[in-house]
Amino acid sequence: MTISRGSTEGTGLWQSDVDLRRLCSFATAARARFFVALEQEDELPATLDEANDKDLPVLIMGGGSNMLLTENYPGLVVKIDLKGISVRADSSSADHVLLNAAAGENWHALVEYCLDNSFYGIENLALIPGSVGAAPVQNIGAYGVELSDVLVSVRYFDLRFQQVVQLSAQECQLAYRDSIFKQALKGSAVILSVCLRLAKKPDLKIAYPALQQALHDISDPSARDVFNAVCAVRRSKLPDPAVLGNAGSFFRNPVVSRTLYQTLLQQWPELPSYATDNPEKVKLPAAWLIERAGWKGKRHGDAGVHEQQALVLVNYGQATGLQILQLAKAVARSVQQQFNISLEPEVNVLPASAWQSV
Ligand SMILES: Cc1cc2nc3c(=O)[nH]c(=O)nc-3n(C[C@H](O)[C@H](O)[C@H](O)COP(=O)(O)OP(=O)(O)OC[C@H]3O[C@@H](n4cnc5c(N)ncnc54)[C@H](O)[C@@H]3O)c2cc1C
């Protein structure tokens, strides 16, 4: 690995031929032609200019916990390491605070920070791996809470116009595992910081069945109890990427027409479903479909479908990104054949064209 200082004044250390395996939770072998860790916001324009001058594509990376690299990256990987948390009063409500967090802060550490300081609203999102900056990209969610419940605004650097822009939560178009950053702004926004509105008094969301069960013995749970319960449930159900490579749920839960749902119910009366905002649409658990299609616990070499959670694909050690992708495609094909439902990846497959071409 060669290390050189970027030729443009003010940019961080550029490294070449960098192994990305340890930087991505799937732990598949892939290298970046160039890599830089961005610790200062004001270094970003020069870094991007330099990549542009060298005709290099740019990949923005946070914690690497929602990516599947299927080949070496031919350009510059910019790891967002911006740090800083600040809190101020919310002038519109004495019961809330506004918290700004830089994109490179660790999400789970932020959840702990909030709990320690009696700021409530994100305790259900404990133990989601990755960075604060990636949280709006897919509107992270778990156990009945989504980022959209607390997000006020996002500051990002627009690569097309070379300027910092602030979007309100509404302008971010947050939806189920989706946002403007996965759609219209895909590839042209570097998120710098987020602003969250958090409550000074807990308003616990504990309706989610697994959470209710975990809190069963506690008569008047606190936010800390909810946090602990979420951590315990997650640890019991999800593989730890430090032990077994994975990127959490590989597929999004499909949203289908009520007509298709009714047809499927005739053959599978036990098919679970969730209501959506649209009465004509129903969300189905992808894990159930994958399990019924016979994939739970299946293994192709070192690429596998997790034994306890069929929605999670895992790397048992030496699986390549392509092998994981081929397994994912095989799973999706069988769900399509059996249920006439198209599964789409929640994980960011790189390059994006690989999903269609496998
Ligand atoms: C065990 C496990 C459990 C998980 N559980 C959940 C869960 O319960 N709920 C959930 O929603 N997700 C879950 N995930 C997925 C993942 O943790 C989240 O999507 C997380 O927000 C990804 O953060 P990251 O920093 O690792 O993103 P990365 O993997 O680094 O990046 C993800 C995407 O965001 C882009 N990106 C990253 N940072 C920025 C930035 N600053 N500006 C612009 N674009 C950026 C990247 O280019 C990429 O497209 C889980 C993952 C694992 C491994």
pLDDT exceeds cutoff 80 at 271: yes
Whole-number Å distance between alpha carbons of 24 and 62 = 9
Write out the chain in H/E/C secondary structure.
CCEEECCCCCCCEEEEEEECHHHCCCCCCCEEEEEEEECCHHHHHHHHHHHHHCCCCEEEECCCCCEEECCCEEEEEEEECCCCEEEEECCCCCCEEEEEEECCCEHHHHHHHHHHCCCECCHHHCCCCCECCCCCCCCCEECCEEHHHCEEEEEEEECCCCEEEEEECCCCCCECCECHHHCCCCCCEEEEEEEEEEECCCCCCCCCHHHHHHCCCCCCCCHHHHHHHHHHHHHHHCCCCCCCEEEEECECCCEEEHHHHHHHHHHCCCCCCEECCCCCEEECCHHHHHHHCCCCCCEECCEEECCCCCCEEEECCCCCHHHHHHHHHHHHHHHHHHHCCCCCECCEEECCCHHHHC
CA 155 to ligand 1 center in whole angstroms? 17
Neighbours of 263 (CB within 10 A): 13
The minimum-distance atom of ligand 1 relative to the CA of 246 is 53
Q: pLDDT digit string (tens) for 102-124? A: 999 999 999 999 999 999 999 99
State the Cα torsion 112-115-119-120 to the nearest 10°: 100
CA 138 to ligand 1 center in whole angstroms? 7
Whole-number Å distance between alpha carbons of 38 and 14 = 10
pLDDT exceeds cutoff 80 at 6: no
Residue 177 catalytic?
A: yes
pTM higher than the cut 0.85: yes
Q: Which of 131, 153, 179, 249 is catalytic?
A: 249
| Sheet-wide strand order for 274-275 | 255-257, 281-283, 274-275
Whole-number Å distance between alpha carbons of 167 and 199 = 22
Q: Is 198 in contact with 97 (CB distance < 8 Å)?
A: yes
Reported as a pLDDT band with limits 50, 70 and 90, residue 8 is very low
pLDDT exceeds cutoff 80 at 315: yes
Whole-number Å distance between alpha carbons of 229 and 136 = 24
Q: pLDDT digit string (tens) for 181-212? A: 999 999 999 999 999 999 999 999 999 989 99
Whole-number Å distance between alpha carbons of 17 and 35 = 8
pLDDT exceeds cutoff 90 at 221: yes
Q: Which long-range contacts (CB under 8 A, 24 or more apart) does 112-119 make?
A: 113/85, 114/198, 115/223, 115/224, 115/227, 117/87, 118/200, 119/87, 119/198, 119/199, 119/200
> Of all protein residues, whose CA lies closest to atom 34 belonging to ligand 1?
134
Name the token pair of 136.
């709006």
Q: Is the peptide bond before 221 cis (omega within 30 degrees of 0)?
A: no
Instruction: Kindly tell me the sign of the dihedral angle through the C-alpha atoms of 19, 53, 78, 246.
Output: negative
Whole-number Å distance between alpha carbons of 19 and 288 = 36
At residue 154, the pLDDT reads 98
Q: What percent of the chain has pLDDT over 70?
A: 97
At residue 4, the pLDDT reads 40
Q: Is 292 in contact with 337 (CB distance < 8 Å)?
A: no
Q: What percent of the chain has pLDDT over 90?
A: 95
Residue 249 catalytic?
A: yes
CA 113 to ligand 1 center in whole angstroms? 19
Q: Please give the mean pLDDT across all residues of the chain.
A: 95
Q: Which of 155, 177, 197, 252 is catalytic?
A: 177
pLDDT exceeds cutoff 70 at 1: no
Which single residue is written with the structure tokens 């958090």? 198
At residue 5, the pLDDT reads 37
pLDDT exceeds cutoff 50 at 260: yes
> Of all protein residues, whose CA lies closest to atom 14 belonging to ligand 1?
248
Name the token pair of 16.
């070449």
> Of all protein residues, whose CA lies closest to atom 10 belonging to ligand 1?
140
At residue 148, the pLDDT reads 98
At residue 11, the pLDDT reads 62
Q: pLDDT digit string (tens) for 158-183? A: 999 999 999 999 999 999 999 999 99
CA 62 to ligand 1 center in whole angstroms? 7
Domains with residue ranges and CATH for the chain: 3-80 (3.30.43.10), 85-204 (3.30.465.10), 240-357 (3.90.78.10)
Whole-number Å distance between alpha carbons of 43 and 110 = 24
Mean pLDDT score, 59-85:
98
The minimum-distance atom of ligand 1 relative to the CA of 61 is 30
Reported as a pLDDT band with limits 50, 70 and 90, residue 309 is very high
